[in-house]
Structure 1
Amino acid sequence: MTDGNGFLSERLLVVAFEGWNDAGEAATGAVGTLKDLLDVSPIAEIDPETYFDYQFNRPTISTGEDGIRVLEWPSAIMYGPTTPGESAVPLADDAQLRVSGTNAGNIYLLLGTEPSRSWKSFAAEILDAALAADVGGIVFLGAMLADVPHTRPISIFVSSDNPQVRAELQIERSSYEGPVGILSVLAIAAEAVGIPTLSIWASVPHYVHNAPSPKAMLALIDKLEEIIDVVIPRGELVNEAAEWQSGIDVLAGEDEEMAAYIAQLEQARDTVDSPEASGEAIAQEFEKYLRKRGDGRDGRTDGRADGRPGPDGPRQP
């Protein structure tokens, strides 16, 4: 997938944050899965005292295996390969337990909680750590709430503000304008210091926003695997995604209003995905769908029928 000089040939930092950018815990779940599968260790950690409001992002307490109670503070940690640059080609006995491929040894991770304040300083500190690790590209993972049905494939939108990355990977540039989360702040700052970026966003059905979405997590991992040219074991995630969908099916079967609403979303999605549908037909069908719902702005929708960011941007999880 790479000629040795492009985005994929660089050390890649894969980023996800809890909070505004993480509907259904899909983005942090995907990066957390990579952390468990890759041979990585912490290489940088920000000071939480500087960036977090603990009344908003409270620390959590748990009991360790030794019986000692431990506090875990909101933070952001960067992980790097134990042996940078080496391919993590697995042995036969752990083929389903390790990320593999020629690019596996070039993957770095950043996993944390969206900060409460001092975003410019936060971004500068993160990028200093990325530059120190000689990171050559950043992949941001995000998930938003949208008017999409849980019964259809999760919509994924890949974009980049970098023209070379768009040309290399044949992806689009986002046209979104409006409020943003820390991912956008980091992306703009990274491009300013010469680190190319791309973003991968998943659409999560807004009517199940209170529960983690393994189906959205799986969709992000599928697209990430395709783009960064590695093989990522799925483990139990495929079964968990199927169980998640079945569970919502059961709930919808007990709620006629919810079932009718999901059927409307399915009709809108199927119209958009129809190969014979023209752009004008799609627009007309979507307008009809909005009219059925009133003004289409009932406080629950911030996305389009195809799952891409709508005019008001991704909704806060």
Structure 2
Amino acid sequence: MTDGNGFLSGRLLVVAFEGWNDAGEAATGAVRTLKELLDVEEVTSIDPEIYFDYQFNRPTISTDEDGRRVIEWPSAVMYGPAVPGSSGVPLAEDAQLRVSGTNAGNIYLLIGTEPSRSWKGFAAEILDSVLAADVSGIVFLGAMLADVPHTRPISIFVSSDSPEVRAELQVERSSYEGPVGILSVLAAAAETVGIPSLSIWASVPHYVHNAPSPKAMLALIDKLEEIIDVVIPRGDLVTDASEWETGIDALAAEDEEMAAYIGQLEQARDTVDSPEASGEAIAQEFEKYLRKRGDGRDGRADGRQGPGPEPRQP
């Protein structure tokens, strides 16, 4: 809990983008979960014609509830509370069916696809909408492919470029230097106009990059709930995360090389988690990942644009 002038005191925008920033679909999955649970409606959407290369981010077609064939274009959509400022009260006392807590009625969402071009203009258009909605703080969610084992808790790295946010929430400032995705561009633009931001990143095992990671999604939701002072129902996520881990265990049981490699990662992770380990370990893993991703390829889990497994460590 913070005082009336803190990061959590006003309207918060939670942001996730498909693509380079979204390994295992964990970040966008977390925001989509919030969208289903919150009473939100569309505030604005970005015209995709200016910012997307449709040969790179192709539109999709599906059938709607009325049986019509509908084309969905890559874009970014911002959602806001249908009744701003109202707390999300559970629909029944014995059923946590909605997000609740002191900040539940102040949460805005932005979800989209990382644009192909004109990032400065894209960021400016997004920030115009953020300022118009009187958003006072932004939380960026991301997920990276990393050399981590699926059998251990998902590593979470929280950082902020705002001295006030770092002091209030006791988080670090990232020391990373190198190529970035649209989240970093938006964060820099937000700081320029005086809107503080916070970034939450999850590490996803690179050897399962072709599948969504409910365990990483759950870890992001856990940390988000802790930071923004809300209670977020987990639904089937806990079960899905357990089944995801069990499925990978089964694959590893049939592949001696994979099992041996996972064992190496487990040993390394246990060393990092030991009381003697440095608190910089997760931050170093984050920076290592971003340097590897400097080739411009993303961490999508659908196999269309993903980077493939990282080289295994000796």
SS of the residue aligned with 1:166?
A: helix
SS of residue paired to 2:145 = strand
Q: What is the alpha-carbon distance in structure 2 between the residues aligned to residue 47 and residue 117 of structure 1? A: 13
CA distance in 2, matches of 1:22, 1:91: 32
Deviations 1:175-197 (A, max 9, x none): 11110000000000000000000
Counterpart of 2:287, as a letter, is: P
Contiguous gaps of at least 5 residues in structure 1: 284-302
Tell me what 2:309 maps to: none
Structure 1 position 134 matched with structure 2 position 112? no
Q: Which residue of 2 aligns with 1:172?
A: 172
| TM-aligned CA deviation for residue 23 of structure 1 | 0.1
Q: How far does the alpha carbon of each residue in 1:131-173 deviate from its partner, in whole angstroms, 9 at most, with x for none?
A: 0000000000000000000000000000000000000000000
Quote the residue 2:104 is aligned against: 104
Structure 2 equivalent of residue 54 of structure 1: 54
Shift of 1:91: 3.8
Contact 2:148–2:205 (CA under 8 A) maintained in structure 1: yes
Separation in 1 of the partners of 2:286 and 2:11? 28
2:116 is aligned to 116
The aligned amino acid for 1:201 is W
Distance 2:242 2:180 in 1: 31
Matched residue, 1:89? 89
Superposed counterparts of 1:32-43, under 5 Å: 32-43=32-43
Separation of aligned partners in 2, 1:156 and 1:278: 16
Equivalence for 2:303: none
The match for 2:262 is: 262
Listed one character per residue, the Cα deviations across residues 31-61 of structure 1 (whole Å, up to 9, x for unaligned) are 0000000000000101000100000000000
Change (3 A) 1:74 1:235: same
Cross-structure match for 1:27: 27
Q: Is the 8 A contact 1:46 1:76 kept in 2?
A: yes
How far residue 2 of structure 1 moved from its aligned partner, in angstroms, is 1.2
Matched, 1:157 2:160: no
Aligned to 1:193: 193
Amino acid in the other structure paired with 1:160: S
CA contact (8 A) 2:218 2:238 kept: yes
Change (3 A) 1:86 1:267: same
Tell me, yes or no, if the aligned pair for 1:176 and 1:311 is still in contact at 8 Å.
no
CA distance in 2 between counterparts of 1:142 and 1:97 reads 25
SS in 1 for 2:288: coil
- Give the paired residue count: 295
Cα pair 1:269 1:306 within 8 Å, conserved: no
Aligned residues of 1:148 and 1:307 also touching (Cα < 8 A): no
Contact residue 148 and residue 305 of structure 1 kept, 8 A? no
Matches within 5 A, 1:228-267: 228-267=228-267
TM-score by length of 1: 0.90
Give yes or no for contact 2:77–2:112 (8 Å, CA) kept in 1.
yes
Mapped to 2, the partners of 1:265 and 1:147 lie a distance apart of 7
CA distance 1:152–1:278, shift in 2 (3 Å): closer
Structure 1 residue 65, shift from structure 2 partner:
2.0
Would you say the 8 A contact 2:174–2:283 is kept in 1? no
Aligned partner of 2:79 in structure 1 is 79
- Alignment check: 8 A CA contact 2:91 2:98 kept: no
Match in the other structure for 2:306? none
| CA displacement 1:53-80 (0-9 Å, x = unmatched) | 0000000000112211110000000000
Distance 1:217 1:15 in 2: 14
Amino acid at match of 1:173: R
Q: Secondary structure at the match of 1:168?
A: helix
Instruction: Give the residue type in structure 2 aligned to 1:244.
Output: W
| Percent identity for Structure 1 against Structure 2 | 81
Q: Distance in 2 between matches of 1:45 and 1:138?
A: 18
Q: Does 1:221 align with 2:199?
A: no
Instruction: Report the Cα distance in structure 1 between the residues aligned to 2:292 and 2:231, rounded to whole angstroms.
Output: 29
Q: Distance in 2 between matches of 1:45 and 1:51?
A: 12
SS in 2 for 1:123: helix
TM-score by length of 2: 0.91
Evaluate the alpha carbon distance shift between residue 141 and residue 278 of structure 1 in structure 2; reply closer, same or farther with a 3 A threshold. closer
Q: 1:78 & 1:209 partners in 2: Cα distance?
A: 28
Change (3 A) 1:118 1:222: same
